[in-house]
Amino acid sequence: MPTPLDLAALRRHAVARSLFPPTTLLAAVERLGGFVQADPLRAPARAQDLTLRHRVKNYRAGDLERRYPQLPLQEDFFINYGFLTPALRALMHPRTARRAWDKPRWKLAHAVLAEVERLGVAHPATVDAALGHGPVRNWFGGNSRLSTELLDGLHYRSHLDVVRRDNGTRVYALAAPWQAAADPQAAMDAMADALVRKYAPLPAASLSQLINMLAGAAPQWESLRKPTLARAKQRLAHACIDGVDWYWPGDEAPTRGWRSPSQVRLLAPFDPVVWDRRRFELLWGWAYRFEAYTPAHKRVRGHYALPLLWRDEVIGWGNLKVVDGCLQHDLGYVAGRAPRDAGFKQALDDELQRLHDFLGLGT
């Protein structure tokens, strides 16, 4: 008799399909839809590293940044900024930005392009020193260098590639000419499929939101968002559970038996398992919020609270920091206390040891 599809089965499927057995770095990125979101905050490591440590064998903090220039991976903006496979990146370019630059801005940008061409590989500080553009006010109210802002804009507009990072700073080179998509609708469909592979199973409202976010990936095809959503719904598997429509790839079977391992995982705020806050609340029955940019006195769970997964339930959160070479943790639980399940304490100790090794502490 077939196993009925209920929210518990969908929750198990969401965890199992995303937290696959550890593999190589490139294979892990490909299984994550060809994209890993990046974030500069380090608490205790950057989000991309916290995401990959569960999915890549023997992964250590900083491995992605160190290794991606030698792999077929690139940096770019998709629905947010991160590391992509070339195949996914090629779907979006040549890209026409929503915000058009005026002639004076383009004059400055062409000077930057000429300097990058002269240098071959260009660090923002070198470009800035050559052109003397000076500081500007950035979009979040801080100061940045105009040259850096122009380099970022030219990268987004398909003119530059990021070839590596020097101590976290992007280093640029001229991009090769892009081949425009012969079929823009097919490109949009492929990008939608990449998002579904990464974040499924998805409630209908989240699927719609993700497709809308493709306007940032390919603004030139913004008019195709509605047909892209309609086409996705036609080819994806679908079920209505407790009054909510859910979607996932048609070749997957959420009712297939899967036994949750007795394992604890502390997940990045942008991990695919927890990234969609709407889905999170539907699957686990409580609201998780990322509070790094919330004033300290208004925080409920902490500056960079990591959702705590036990088996297939997100039961709490943890704030971690490294002090004098030692990993310190402060845990909270939705139920107000730690589970009494046999094995939880050992599983938690094992996870903290994995984090210790991942961060290279005491080595």
Count of beta carbons in the 10 Å neighbourhood of residue 314: 22
103-174 under CATH 1.10.10, yes or no: yes
CA distance 353 to 333: 20
The pLDDT mean for the chain works out to 94
Q: Is the Cβ–Cβ distance between 170 and 116 less than 8 Å? A: no
- The pLDDT value recorded for residue 1 is 45
Report whether pLDDT(136) > 80. Answer: no
What is the pairing mode between strands 306-310 and 313-323?
antiparallel
pLDDT tens, position by position, 204-244: 999 999 999 999 999 999 999 999 999 999 999 999 999 99
C-alpha Rg value of the chain to the nearest Å: 22
Residue 120 Cα distances to 115, 127, 128, 155, angstroms: 8, 11, 15, 15
Answer whether residue 254 shows pLDDT above 60.
yes
Confidence band (pLDDT; 50, 70, 90) for 58? very high
pTM, 2 dp: 0.94
For the segment 275-331, what is each residue's pLDDT rounded down to a tens digit? 999 999 999 999 999 999 999 999 999 999 999 999 999 999 999 999 999 999 999
The domain locations on the chain are 103-174, 264-358
DSSP 23: B
